[in-house]
Chain A
């Protein structure tokens, strides 16, 4: 049985019933990784021995016919931006290449308690800054659907690992689209929760008012399962929301009769990829056939989102990345004998060009004389963008858009002009600025075989709604059964 092709819920059923051993499951994934990782390069670190160790523990419990935790033996991949105690957490950066966290992120504590098993840490754009995973200091991850194309970013390793059946599911992080966009490029389900829905304790911080951890999975039910496992208030994260976590799986009824689907005019612009536009329009027709009602809405400040993001996120990043100074952990230059010089050389040696660029932009935006014109201005435009969503949600229940303006692009296609790369996040960035949840599901393929992502955006803390709409669409179509040929 090809266990690695199964979803989390299928494996869960087999394991809980005792039909299959957790050790068998983990072994099957490890064999799969051995077969395809050379081509895909999704992982920075693999942890086969601890994974088998935990699987064996659950196998013993299974053998004694005792109760297993809900996700016992389910193998997951974790983006290398999430702290895993005792296991290297590099953020795909030279500056943290040797960093081994002394603590677990809260999401890891919760997944461990649920019995999930970690197969390894996945590759990413350095410090989550990028849209293609090309900014990794270590390796290029390839899109399983076309090895000459990027998997998207910054959670490219996680997305590729799920698409290539190298794990049952994965966690990523999303600051400007870094879960949804690679999810779209790799043809899988990828969800960014509402800001504050999932604890950021142990998530290496990029932009503290935008970052969220979320699931990347093979189908919508799996995303509901992983989200439920990690969501909820955390006293260790004072930005985590004290809002109860619904039973997301139970919310998957598939019933969307009467649902008002908002289509924002600003997301369907002349010059967008015609295959993307036509796939998304067809997807909306599917929703209509299921009983949804199309509503025209407007998000008038969409055009200002990328500019706003590149001030807010970089300003926050410039502050968050000050801690990488070679003093307490990470790389330290061998080349210096006094402190300021040590900082400057350490950071010069340890950071890649995109990270440096964003630190510079953010520092500039916050510096004396420019703070009002840039950072403060951006915070005000952020209010306008948030208000756009609040207003739109008076006229619809969910907003549907393409996940990206194009499908996965080729390696090197956008690396010459940083601005071109930034613009590829145009449909996801507003969601982070407004704090609203969004999910990407596959809605078709281009003529050249690349997946096309459909994004469903919801009101704050309405993940149950967007999961159910995604589920209804998924169950009415066959895209989620497709797998890349490797």
Chain B
């Protein structure tokens, strides 16, 4: 009989083996959990990194270096025309495109000059409007290449253009340059000329409508349900419908917008007003639910104190409860708005998918939104749009990150533990 058996009669070899197996299972289980969590995080990182790597070139475009001698061309800026577009048109009439073309031929040769973008004169015209002094001498411009040369420069596209691209690049005449205009232009059929400002502005206008509708209605409904609503069937119906609306697929709201809003306002198809109204219906339940939680967390002693010194029930709520619950309500609102900003499906159904070449000026203009622009560009066949799409995704993600960051900041800064 061994000593161990005397001291520890239960720890037989079979027990030890079993224990070892159980501990191994324990370790395996923990590793499995860690693995699952890390897998989710790894997918997130892969998603973000691949979008960033794909998208960063989308902020650049292939441009050709062209010196232009204005002194002999006799162009002039007619400042009395006032509007920038009018001055640009007058420069066009004065033969600016021909001047650009001949200068390009001089600098790049006939082969190269053929691949200057047909809208390149606009870049020159804008520079002239900004600084008419340019017209007195020779100035060097970086002008966008046409799409064929740009793809060839990226190593894709037509094989016969690749030698030209390589030759120009070796001379330093063709470069991928940071394209500020990407953030200032609107949609275009040519990826070299496409920008996201139009979609971004459309998104902002839509979000303004959504906020103006969803925030007041959501907050007031939350106040009513939490502070005043009698416990009866009617209130139950309201609660059930709010909870269900929060879980209804977003595309159903698109069907509602199509069947109701577009029947009432047939002229406003594709307008931020209708898009914002549709998204507001979707965002409102989120605000109500988070708002109710925020209002619930305000302690009853606050209400009792206010009532005790003679405030009316409305004064209690609007002077005391609402200000204290506001940070929580705002956090929920921002999260709901971030979801609305990334939403595409309902807008697809109510027709915000048109090609919109100029940024919308108001709530009733034709517009598109950022996620919709991503969707539309992802359908394009041109190689150049792949990078432009990922660049638009980066911009969208930055906005969402800012909004969520703001929500987290508000939550940490103002949330009170009573």
Q: Do A and B come from one complex?
A: no
Chain A residues engaging chain B, CB cutoff 8 angstroms: none
